[in-house]
Structure 1
Amino acid sequence: MTETQKARPASAATVYAVLRSRFSDAHYAAGDKLTEQAIAAELNVSRTPVREAIGRLLADGLVTPAARGVVVAALDAKESRDLFAVRGALEGLAAATAAERQRAGLLAPVVLVQLRDASDAVRAAAAQGRRRDAARANSHLHMEIARAADNQLLLEALTRVWDRIAVATVTHLDDDAWLAQIAEQHDEVVDAIDAGDADAARAAMTRHIADAANTHR
């Protein structure tokens, strides 16, 4: 290792934040293996903060021990049911709140443009067979809707839920029929938010999450 290649100092909190963001961004899929050595080399940091960060991921239940590292945890049947039940309630609230804010004139026009762009990105990535890109775009759209609700507690709760669900989403985006359904349902949610119809937005999102839960079984 040359002088310029020496690992730069980093805290475990910084490494943890980077790794944690990758879960919600669908960077990882269930079963992906993570090692201290590979992560340290990628981030150009020493292995000590990586080891501590992985310990926190283990405590979060996002990874499980494996030979010479950890693997991204898969959801068992009960975890999946529990997470999607919570997700349905939270995302239904987020969509309804975003619609209420739109009706009150509190959503900037650019927000609606961003929601439609995000929905289009899911459709485009899916049509091209780019599963991970589609999963990332899907996660981005749902979190943008949560941000449009302008409720920090709701956003934090949904972020924790999405960290667990996003890794499973990658493996379920190879079903063409489901991908087409996702695109249609996203449009329904965004249309309802744009129209300022809170009841329709909640119903469309709740239906979307219920269908997603069935797909993840």
Structure 2
Amino acid sequence: MTGTFESQPGSAQAVYATLRRRFAEGEYAPGQRLMEKVIAAELGVSRTPVREAIGRLLTEGLVVPTARGVAVAALTPQEAEHLFVLRADLEALAAELAAERQARGQLAPARIDELDRAVEKVEAAVEARDPRASAQANLALHRAIGAAAGNPFLEDALHRVWDRIAVTTVANLDDPHWAATIGDQHRAIVAEIRAGNPQAARQAAKSHIEAARRASMS
């Protein structure tokens, strides 16, 4: 997404991509106001593309109108529950498809090695006790699994869910107990993908997301 912004400075699409990346990486807090002039100054663009990008975020439910502009949407407990249910099924399917592709010899060894490195980056960020960096590394791992599934429609659906639930991820990874458990869960998912075990990969991924849901709701 950042590359898109750099290649098309000033366009509404570039600004939108940058803001979507910020949502996905947990840079915004629930209820935080987003001001056109501030974003325009940060990105070195006029307010027009910022206004257009924010309009898209409004239609996607990532921001909500306020008396003075827009603010980052905060999930209600019920909305968070709905998203976790959807995420569990989507991520389970992604892991299953990735393992199927591995079993058919359609995943390059470098792709699996990439997943291992992504797991290690999450663990390093957790050990450094940096929730924001942990959330970003965690997202990179889950994105890599989504890409390994080889289904662009599934990947698009996952991106939409990740963007809405990113704030919850940052909060979870600020919990030392939860953060300490995710390494083994991530390694279990990747191990089953590497072994080409679709059903085991599916169950490992679904169990991981269900555990994340319980952590966020506690």
Q: Same fold (TM over 0.5)?
A: yes
Please say if residues 9 and 46 of structure 1, whose CA atoms lie closer than 8 Å, have aligned partners that are also in contact.
no
Unpaired stretches in structure 1, ≥5 consecutive residues: 1-7
Residue in structure 2 matched with residue 47 of structure 1 by the alignment = 47
- Match of 2:70, SS state, is strand
Residue in structure 2 matched with residue 202 of structure 1 by the alignment = 202
Write the deviation string for residues 57-112 of structure 1: whole angstroms up to 9, x where unpaired.
12211112346443322211111111111111111010011011111111111111
| 1:106 and 2:106 aligned | yes
Unpaired stretches in structure 2, ≥5 consecutive residues: 1-7
| 1:28 and 2:28 aligned | yes
CA offset at residue 21 of structure 1? 2.2
Please say if residues 122 and 138 of structure 2, whose CA atoms lie closer than 8 Å, have aligned partners that are also in contact.
yes
* CA root-mean-square deviation: 1.6
- Match of 2:178, SS state, is helix
Residue in structure 2 matched with residue 158 of structure 1 by the alignment = 158
Give the counterpart letter for 2:23 in structure 1.
Answer: F
Write the deviation string for residues 136-188 of structure 1: whole angstroms up to 9, x where unpaired.
11111111101001001110111111110112211221111101111110011
The 5 Å alignment of 1:49-88 reads: 49-66=49-66, 68-88=68-88
The 5 Å alignment of 1:117-196 reads: 117-196=117-196
The alignment-based identity, stated in percent, is 53
Structure number with greater CO (CA < 8 Å, separation at least 6) is 1
Distance 1:190 1:29, change over 3 A: farther
Measure, in 2, the Cα distance between the counterparts of 1:19 and 1:83: 21
Give the counterpart letter for 2:205 in structure 1.
Answer: M
- Match of 2:64, SS state, is strand
